[in-house]
Each structure stands twice: as C-alpha cells, then as structure tokens.
C-alpha cells in the first residue's frame, strides 16, 4: 500500500474520530443541561405523588385495569349508544333552536296573563281542603261534585244565564231602605204597574215549573237505590 493511501485512510479515521468526539461533547452538554431539569421534575413528581399517596394505591390501579379489561364489551356497547345519542341530538338540535324560543315566549305569555298565579292559588286551595277534610270525606263529596258539574253544564244554556244575570241585576238595584209598609190596598195599587204585572207573570211561570220538581223525586230515589244495589 502506498504512503498516499495510508495517509488518506488516516485522514478519514481522524475525521470520524473528530465527528464522534463532537457528538459525544454535544451529548454531554445535553446531559448537563437536562440533569437539573430532570432533578426538578423528579422532585415535583415526588411531591405530587406524596399528596395523593393516601388516596391512591398501586393495587387500586391494578384492580381498575382488570375491571376495565373485563368490561370492554360493556364499554363498547356504551360507546355505541353514545354515538346514537349524539346522532339524535344532532337531529333534534335544529328543531330545538326554533321551538325552545317559541315555548319560552308562550310560557311568558301565560305568566303575563296570570295563569301560573291562578294554578298556584288553586294548589293552595287544594292544600287547605286537604288540611280541613280527610280522604274519606273528599271521597264522599264525589257525588256532590258530579252534581255541581252537571249544574254548571245547565248554566251554559243562554236562557238560564240570562235569567240569573237579570235576577242578579234586579237585586243589585233593589234598595231595601226605600221599602215602605204596604197593605192589601197598596198591593192592589202596586199591581197596576207594568213591571209588577210582568214580575207576577214570571213568578206564576216559576211556580208552575217548581211544581214539577216533585214528580222527578221518585225517579232520583230509584236511581240512587239502583246505584246502591250495584255497589
């Protein structure tokens, strides 16, 4: 081998040694830079672990891992259902964006009209009824409530409402302080009035109508008796 080849090989070896030396020096510098950081990180980690030592044990972590491995099927099922829930939410979210403001506006309108205050008052009335009467008493009142509902249905007749309203207006206009004692002659004289004659006619018709009530009493008794037998 010639001297030139030997010198060339030595130069390459020297270059490789210089390269490795440079890399070693860089690694040493990196180590020197990272060592303080690693020490600080280790101290912080030990401090944090010291704070959770009373609530964390390695055995608990192992038990958690075992439980997770045994529950993989359940977790997969839960994730699938979660996907369904997310898909459902994505479907109804646009609808809620329009319907929720409308619902809020509707409820606000009811609040402005006092509907909720009325319901609260009704609940308070029910509470007072419950405090005053027992369950058995209220159950016995059931037939009376049904009867009253039937009477309210009859009050929906315009003629009945007109008669009741007219009577209420007449009584409100009546001033008992202006009433004077009247004898038979005064009664005869008062009957000359057109209003008195019309009132007498109304009383006569009401008397005829009231006279028919007695004819329905046996029928009511029969219905009550039949109901008692059925019970």
- Percent of the chain at pLDDT > 90 equals 3
Cα–chain center distance at 3 = 100
pLDDT of residue 182 exceeding 70, the answer is yes
Mean pLDDT value across residues 202-217:
72
DSSP 73: H
Which residue spans within 97-154 are E strands per DSSP? none
- Res 224: pLDDT: 53
Confidence of residue 78 (pLDDT cuts 50, 70, 90): very high
Mean pLDDT value across residues 155-160:
80
- Res 81: pLDDT: 92
Rounded distance, CA 215 to CA 219, Å? 8
Rounded distance, CA 136 to CA 140, Å? 6
What the block records as the tokens of 108 is 């606000």
pLDDT of residue 76 exceeding 80, the answer is yes
Rounded distance, CA 146 to CA 141, Å? 9
- HSE-CB at 94 with a 13 A cutoff on CA atoms is 3
Mean pLDDT value across residues 191-200:
78
Please tell me which residue, 127 or 229, carries the higher pLDDT value: 127
pLDDT of residue 122 exceeding 60, the answer is yes
């Amino acid at each position: 081998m010639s001297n030139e080849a030997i010198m060339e090989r030595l130069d390459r070896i020297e270059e490789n040694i210089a390269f490795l030396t440079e890399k070693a020096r860089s690694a040493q510098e990196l180590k020197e830079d990272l060592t303080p950081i690693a020490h600080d990180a280790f101290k912080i980690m030990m401090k944090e672990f010291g704070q959770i030592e009373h609530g964390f044990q390695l055995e608990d972590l192992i038990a958690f891992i075992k439980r997770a491995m045994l529950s993989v099927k359940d977790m997969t099922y839960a994730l699938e259902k979660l996907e369904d829930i997310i898909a459902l939410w994505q479907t109804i979210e646009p609808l809620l964006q329009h319907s929720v403001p409308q619902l809020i506006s509707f409820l606000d309108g009811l609040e402005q009209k006092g509907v909720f205050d009325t319901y609260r008052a009704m609940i308070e009335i029910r509470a007072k009824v419950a405090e005053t009467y027992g369950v058995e008493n209220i159950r016995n009142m059931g037939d009376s409530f049904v009867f009253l509902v039937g009477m309210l249905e009859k009050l929906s007749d315009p003629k009945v409402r007109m008669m009741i309203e007219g009577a209420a207006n007449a009584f409100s206009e009546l001033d008992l302080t202006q009433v004077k004692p009247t004898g038979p002659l005064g009664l005869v004289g008062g009957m000359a009035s057109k209003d008195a004659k019309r009132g007498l006619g109304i009383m006569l018709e009401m008397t005829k109508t009231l006279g028919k009530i007695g004819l329905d009493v046996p029928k009511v008794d029969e219905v009550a008796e039949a109901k008692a037998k059925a019970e």
